[in-house]
Structure 1
Amino acid sequence: MSEEPTTGTFGGLSFAVGVVTDPGRRRPHNEDAYLAQAPWFLVADGMGGHQSGALASSAVVRAFTEVKRRVPVSERTLRKCLNAAARYTDQLSTQTFDAPGSTVSGLVFGSSATSETKTVDQLLVFNEGDSRTYRLAGGQLEQITTDHSQVQELVDAGLMTPQEARVSTSRNVITRALGAMSGPYAHADIFTIPARVGDRFLICSDGLSDELEDQQIRALLLEHEDPQEAAHRLTKAALNAGGKDNITVLVLDLLAGAGA
């Protein structure tokens, strides 16, 4: 991965993106995969053992790279890609691997027009599993996605505090994933938000969010203006905190051309 962020334009929107992926300190293999090619920006975290997990996350990325787009994406197209990702991952279970599956989280450049236009004015944020997408805007960090996990359900029900969830032995038990848990269909959440100049997005696997609390993530995103440097610093901090899992960090900045 280059030390310089990747820059580009799509649908009148200028952006810069930095990505780092690392196996962590305890695992010899990296089962994460990512895609940072407009209009797609996503992170997939594979499961099922090092061979199955890597194949599953790669299958998710393949489903999106097969769809070449020159105009903003509709929600219908996004759902087709997610279902293709689920189908490709589910097909791996017919081989000799252990129940392969993958989480996925990310965003795509979209348009609010009924028929697709060439101008990006909204973002479609999505997730299935416990990989996350955050937005940093006005100095405030917001987790846009909601984890599909056992502990998040307990937090939502008022039976566990967020602090208890962070240290629970069940924190990595997820309730949704592409492939192993859902079969050939995706059950992802999709959120529509405006595309605004100056917003910064963080997409990550749980190897980051399990090691760092939100205030630590916010501080590092604010401290480092360059998205590639921010991705490196976040990864380093997660490694220093233990690095118990694979870590993938994607930082995306919206630079110019988006809506106000």
Structure 2
Amino acid sequence: MPDQPLDYSAATNAGHRRDNNEDALLSLPENGLWVVADGMGGHEAGEVASAIVRDTLLDQRHNSLTQAIQSSHQAVLEAAANGEGAPGMGSTIVALRSHKGEYEVAWVGDSRAYLWTHTADGGRLERLTTDHSYVQMLLASGAIAEEEVEHHPDKNIITQCLGSHELREVRVDSVHGQWQEHQWILLCSDGLTDELDDEAITRLLYRSSSPGAAVDRLMQAALDAGGRDNITLQLVQSPLNPIPRWNTLKQWLPRLSARTASERVWPNLLLNGVLLASLALVIYWVIP
């Protein structure tokens, strides 16, 4: 029997200072797979790289995360060699796979995954990933202290990415865990974590009763804090958490919250109203 699709929410936004969005995301609850990719290389390059990474993970959704991520590295290299995008384009990736009560998170670069556990005393936020970055190397060597990391001038220099022509293969790091009740996993690009520290993320997650509410709060807070980069996040709920029946119905309805400038809220509201009215009529005629 296949796993029940997990409840999740996702959002992406170009931010206030960028005129294009180089991030990409993939949400496949039916396959237990979620991906965030942060492209780099400038306009018409970064978005090409992250889209290639996303599409490769989609094509290889039944393969291991490590194998699929290595394949996406090769796909970005081949695209650049064939004149697609631009030379030097690349992308980070953080991916989550959930299966039979267990999860795996794999990553390359500085996009992150966090494990959130809701508790009565304020909750617990655990970073599952370790940035592949210059500053992380300095921290690991003892050259800088933990409190220097967030404001270091070289914070955004990464040590590897998908599409890096210096690397025949990338080092894909991964962690495995067992889902517990009252847990969510957050995947995000650095557009979120550059604006919100762990304390702010913890506070917003604790105040949220669902992945959808949490994603909306996190996105708005990151935009309010400056929105200097593209912001992408996905929040996936533990299979041990009960899913309200309303969430099952929501999967059939268009999302009300506008994720991009091209989406419009009022047409979705009207369509949702028609769908709900039709459902009510069906129930009225079928149920005596």
TM range (shorter): 0.7 to 0.9
Work out which of the residue numbers 36, 52, 72 in structure 2 matches 1:59.
52
Contiguous gaps of at least 5 residues in structure 1: 1-9, 111-119
Task: Give the equivalent residue in structure 2 for 1:190.
Answer: 174
- Larger proportion of helix: 2
Which protein, 1 or 2, shows the higher relative CO under an 8 Å CA cutoff with sep ≥ 6? 1
Work out which of the residue numbers 84, 91, 104 in structure 2 matches 1:124.
104
- Contact residue 65 and residue 106 of structure 2 kept, 8 A: no
* TM-score w.r.t. length of structure 2: 0.76
Work out which of the residue numbers 69, 74, 79 in structure 1 matches 2:66.
79
Work out which of the residue numbers 205, 208, 221 in structure 2 matches 1:221.
205
* Helix, strand or coil at the partner of 1:256: coil
Distance 1:37 1:12 in 2: 12
Q: Alignment identity in percent?
A: 33
Work out which of the residue numbers 1, 16, 22 in structure 2 matches 1:25.
16
- Contact residue 221 and residue 230 of structure 1 kept, 8 A: yes
Q: How does 1:11-50 map to 2 (within 5 A)?
A: 11-38=2-29, 39-50=32-43
Q: How does 1:93-242 map to 2 (within 5 A)?
A: 93-94=80-81, 95=83, 97-110=86-99, 120-137=100-117, 138=119, 139-180=123-164, 183=167, 185-242=169-226
Distance 1:106 1:231 in 2: 17
* TM-score w.r.t. length of structure 1: 0.84
Higher mean Cα deviation, 97-106 or 125-134?
97-106
Distance 1:166 1:130 in 2: 13
- Contact residue 80 and residue 87 of structure 2 kept, 8 A: yes
Distance 1:181 1:108 in 2: 27
1:52 maps to a residue whose letter is A
- Contact residue 11 and residue 215 of structure 2 kept, 8 A: yes
Shift of 1:183: 4.2
Contiguous gaps of at least 5 residues in structure 2: 243-288
Shift of 1:40: 1.1
- Contact residue 13 and residue 256 of structure 1 kept, 8 A: no
Relative to structure 1, is the Cα distance of residues 11 and 145 closer, same or farther in structure 2, using a 3 angstrom cutoff?
A: farther
Distance 1:68 1:130 in 2: 22
What do residues 165-189 of structure 1 show as CA deviations (whole Å, max 9, x unaligned)?
2111100000011112564533210
Distance 1:58 1:68 in 2: 15
Distance 1:185 1:155 in 2: 25
- Contact residue 179 and residue 240 of structure 2 kept, 8 A: no
Aligned length: 234
Shift of 1:56: 0.5
Shift of 1:14: 4.8
Over 6 Å off, 4+ runs:
none
Higher mean Cα deviation, 243-252 or 186-195?
186-195
Relative to structure 1, is the Cα distance of residues 107 and 182 closer, same or farther in structure 2, using a 3 angstrom cutoff?
A: farther
Task: Give the equivalent residue in structure 2 for 1:116.
Answer: none
- Larger proportion of strand: 1
